[in-house]
Amino acid sequence: VPKFLHIKASREGESRCYFTLNQGFNRSNKLSRYIVIRSQLAGTGILDATNSLSEIKPSPKFRGVCFYSMTVMAGVLPFGILIVAHPLALIFDPYKTKFYNLIPKLWATASIAPFFDIELEGLENLPPQNAPAVYVSNHQSIIDFYPLLTLGRSFKFIGKNTVFLYPGIGWAMYILGMIPVKRMDIRSHLEAVRRCMDLVRNGASVFFFPEGTRSKDGKLGDFKKGAFTVAAKTGVPVIPMTLIGTGEIMPAGMEHVVNSGSVKLIIHKPIKGNDPEILRQLARNTILDTLSIEAQKKKRLS
């Protein structure tokens, strides 16, 4: 325990505390004989006080509020355009609604740009814009459809019927021709599959989350046959896609937060066939293997 303590203000506005063990105060000020305690923020002596203000990051909850605010603001003009253009689209392009491709893409890009980056891989595997296909992807978060919309494709999503009741986004989904489905209702699912086959036969593309719901732990769930039945009966290819990172940015059950991070969307080569079960297995194995490879890459980098 030191017997003598001396505190001296330096010319740089820092405070310094020198003490020696079992000795009197040494006026020679040789730092090799002293322990120096420095406080750079008003002499508080708090360890975290040395962190610069520029390193302070907004909380995930605050980012969540900002994200939803940006989503609403970015959607005001596009939603107005959709309302005005919808009657013309129903007359001249009731199935593909190619006119709408750019609007959802711009809205999704503007909504997520301030919060996370998107890396797209395998764009060469996408079929031509006018070629109908069945797109499938893993499902980790409610923000999954944002990266998918940035592709600018005119596929129709299948969504939970209650989402269509939300002001703004639900109405936009209805105008864009998305297909509502009731959970745990077999007739509703069969009707959705029938509508999808009708759309595909008329030149449109459809999109499925074949797991049926979001993954709670990041693991890939079992795939339902609906999407692959549509592909097999209409003869169009299945385009598997793997989403990586959305579950960490907004985990299932934590829709009020937006964590920092990035998203990777990988488009795989098309799969064709007339057996729904084989298509289902091939698509799931493709996504499962990709998730495993990406997880190993992340583990090596950490």
Q: Is the pLDDT of residue 254 over 50?
A: yes
* Model confidence at 173: pLDDT above 50: yes
**β partners of residue 121:** 266
Mean pLDDT lowest for which of 7-16, 162-171, 281-290? 7-16
Is residue 291 a contact partner of residue 245, using CB atoms and an 8 Å limit? no
Residue 11 to residue 28: CA distance in whole angstroms: 18
Position 237 scores a pLDDT of 97
pLDDT tens digits for range 123-134: 999 999 889 999
Give domain status of residue 44, yes or no: no
* Domain limits for position 238: 60-301
Residue 12 scores a pLDDT above 80: no
Q: How far is CA 190 from CA 193, 195, 237, 274, 282, in A?
A: 5, 9, 20, 19, 23
The residue written with tokens 């059950």 in the block is 253
Q: Which residues pair with 266 in a beta bridge?
A: 121, 242
- What pLDDT does 107 receive? 86
CA distances from 234 to 48, 132, 224, 238, 240 (A): 62, 10, 18, 11, 17
Do residues 250 and 116 lie in contact, with contact meaning Cβ atoms separated by under 8 Å? Answer: no
Instruction: Give the mean pLDDT of the chain.
Output: 79
Q: What is the mean pLDDT of residues 211-222?
A: 86
In-domain check, residue 12 = no
The predicted structure's pLDDT at residue 14: 46
pLDDT tens readout for residues 21-60? 444 444 444 444 444 434 344 444 444 444 444 456 789 9
Domain membership flag for residue 186: yes
User: DSSP label at 66?
Assistant: H
Residue 11 falls inside a structural domain: no
Whole-prediction pTM: 0.75
pLDDT of residue 103: 80
Lowest mean pLDDT among 7-16, 102-111, 222-231: 7-16
Provide the percentage of residues in the chain whose pLDDT is more than 70. Answer: 74
| Segment among 44-53, 178-187, 286-295 with least mean pLDDT | 44-53
Q: What's 169's domain CATH number?
A: 3.40.1130
Q: pLDDT of 149-168, one tens digit each? A: 899 887 888 877 777 776 65
**Per-residue pLDDT, 198:** 92
Is residue 232 in a domain? Answer: yes
Q: How many domains does the chain have?
A: 1
The rounded percent of the chain whose pLDDT value lies above 90 is 39
| 272 within a domain of the structure (yes/no) | yes
Give backbone dihedrals phi and psi of 160, rounded to 5 degrees, phi first: -60, 135
* Phi and psi, residue 152, nearest 5°: 75, 25
The whole-number pLDDT of residue 135 equals 96
Residues 6+ apart with CB under 8 A from 68: none
Report the alpha-carbon distance of residue 230 to residue 208 in Å, rounded. 10
Q: Is the pLDDT of residue 17 over 60?
A: no
- Spatial distance between the Cα atoms of 297 and 117, rounded to a whole number of angstroms: 18
Mean pLDDT score, 192-200? 91
Q: Given a cut of 50, is residue 13 above it in pLDDT?
A: no
What does the radius of gyration of the chain's CA atoms come to, in whole angstroms?
A: 28
Owner of token pair 């592909």: 231
Q: Is residue 21 part of a domain?
A: no
Q: What pLDDT, on the 0 to 100 scale, is given for residue 164?
A: 73
